[in-house]
């Protein structure tokens, strides 16, 4: 699998691209308003995805998905598709080809087959950057001081120039695969298959580590780190609170995070018995599973009435937060000139305590308006209360 990397140098003289009829139609390489990384493709979910496919994953790769997001957003590329390409190229980081794990070479750069191992990068971060720079280079963007020697040579020798001139419209990952692995007509299909597997099993699941989003974006925090095993996790969770952002403010269904509920006092933070993890991902399509939809509209944390379960008047936004439990409640709170509905995952038997702690810390003036047997059912109800306008 890895031996195919680098053979595009021999194929670059082709003037007109010819893609196999069955090739998967992968998206453009560069992000744009019409070509965004899907909101469900978060580092936390992607990390869980590769761990599910490779349970013995080396701890060196704990931040791999986060680094793809960090460098991908910096370079303006669809880093999620590059991540799926990495899964194909490395056999989910098992390295069953010429490249070995110690090289941190996630795209087989310079590995041309026949035992040629390709380039070696100093760190995981360097290897991710090298991969994404090489992908971006296909669009004709000049990479200044590229990490990979391979990228530098292809630019200097103008290996891809004729191929790039043959493309009409934006350069896509499908175009890229025709040159990256010209002898493998199913290469784009392999990447699409990995993307499909992720979408089926992980896109509608809760983000197990939303703090990685803030970490990828370099959000600052004043929470002091300690040497304890628990502190980094708590710190990341609080970073997620401080750094949450609304991805598409014009879409009232897109701000699944806690961006407008921040700016907490020490007293409010102390009131929370445990910091919940807060997400910023967009729910493009709420999960359709209605089988577990059981609602209770009277809770110890605040009794709901019929008016509270009617669609909101005026501006509203839906958020998600989690203490890690399997049940969920909806908290309604004012903030930033709108009504905020937070779907909070809670533990059975601790609903009131966790709701009260969340309201004290993050949803001042809020109240619980419904209890659900699953986060999916709660999220569906939240979007009924705050419909897309």
Q: Which domains are delineated in the chain?
A: 2-202 (1.10.530.10), 248-385 (no CATH)
Q: Which residue stretches of the chain have pLDDT < 50?
A: 1-21, 220-274, 279-306, 389
* Contacts for 374 with CB less than 8 Å, ≥ 6 apart: 289, 292, 293, 326, 327, 328
* pLDDT (0 to 100) of residue 111: 87
pLDDT 10s digits, 276-326: 555 433 333 333 333 333 444 433 333 344 456 677 778 888 888 877 777
The percent of the chain in helix, strand and coil, each rounded to the nearest 5, is: 40, 10, 50
Rounded CA gap, 317 and 126, in Å?
Answer: 38
* pLDDT (0 to 100) of residue 32: 96
pTM of the complete model beyond 0.75: no
Strand arrangement of the beta sheet that strand 277-278 belongs to = 277-278, 316-322, 338-346, 327-335, 367-372, 295-296
* pLDDT (0 to 100) of residue 235: 31
Rounded CA gap, 144 and 314, in Å?
Answer: 48
Residue 191 has φ and ψ, to the nearest 5°, of -65, -45
In the chain, the N- to C-terminal Cα span, in Å, equals 48
* Contacts for 192 with CB less than 8 Å, ≥ 6 apart: 24, 26
pLDDT 10s digits, 214-229: 999 986 433 222 222 2
DSSP 8-state code for residue 97: S
* pLDDT (0 to 100) of residue 316: 86
* pLDDT (0 to 100) of residue 219: 61
């Amino acid at each position: 699998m890895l031996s195919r990397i680098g053979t595009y140098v021999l194929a670059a003289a082709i003037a007109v691209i010819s893609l196999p009829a069955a090739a998967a139609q992968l998206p453009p390489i560069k992000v744009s308003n019409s070509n965004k990384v899907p909101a469900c493709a978060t580092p936390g979910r992607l990390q869980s995805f590769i761990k599910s496919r490779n349970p013995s994953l080396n701890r060196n790769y704990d931040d791999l998905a986060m680094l793809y997001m960090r460098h991908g957003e910096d370079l303006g590329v669809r880093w999620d598709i590059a991540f799926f390409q990495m899964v194909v190229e490395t056999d989910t980081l098992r390295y069953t080809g010429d490249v070995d794990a110690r090289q941190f070479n996630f795209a087989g750069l310079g590995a041309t087959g026949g035992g040629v191992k390709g380039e070696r990068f100093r760190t995981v971060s360097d290897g991710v950057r090298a991969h994404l720079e090489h992908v971006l280079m296909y669009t004709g963007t000049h990479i200044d001081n590229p990490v990979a020697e391979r990228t530098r040579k292809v630019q200097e020798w103008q290996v891809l120039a004729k191929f790039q001139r043959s493309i009409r419209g934006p350069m896509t990952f499908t175009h890229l695969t025709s040159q990256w692995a010209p002898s493998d007509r199913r290469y784009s299909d392999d990447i699409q298959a990995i993307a499909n597997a992720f979408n089926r099993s992980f896109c509608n699941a809760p983000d197990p580590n939303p703090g990685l989003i803030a970490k990828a974006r370099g959000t600052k925090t004043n929470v002091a780190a300690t040497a304890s095993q628990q502190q980094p996790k708590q710190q990341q969770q609080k970073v997620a609170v401080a750094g949450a952002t609304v991805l598409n403010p014009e879409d009232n269904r897109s701000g699944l995070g806690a961006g407008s509920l921040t700016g907490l006092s020490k007293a409010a933070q102390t009131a929370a018995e445990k910091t919940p993890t807060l997400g910023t991902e967009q729910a493009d399509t709420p999960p359709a599973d209605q089988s577990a939809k059981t609602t209770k509209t009277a809770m110890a944390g605040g009794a709901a009435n019929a008016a509270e379960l009617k669609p909101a008047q005026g501006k509203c936004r839906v958020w998600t937060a989690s203490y890690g439990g399997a049940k969920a409640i909806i908290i309604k709170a004012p903030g930033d000139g709108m009504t905020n509905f937070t779907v909070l995952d809670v533990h059975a038997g601790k609903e009131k305590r966790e709701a009260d702690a969340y309201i004290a810390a993050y949803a001042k003036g809020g109240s619980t308006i419904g209890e659900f047997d699953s986060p999916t059912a709660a999220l569906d109800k939240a979007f009924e209360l705050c419909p897309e306008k």
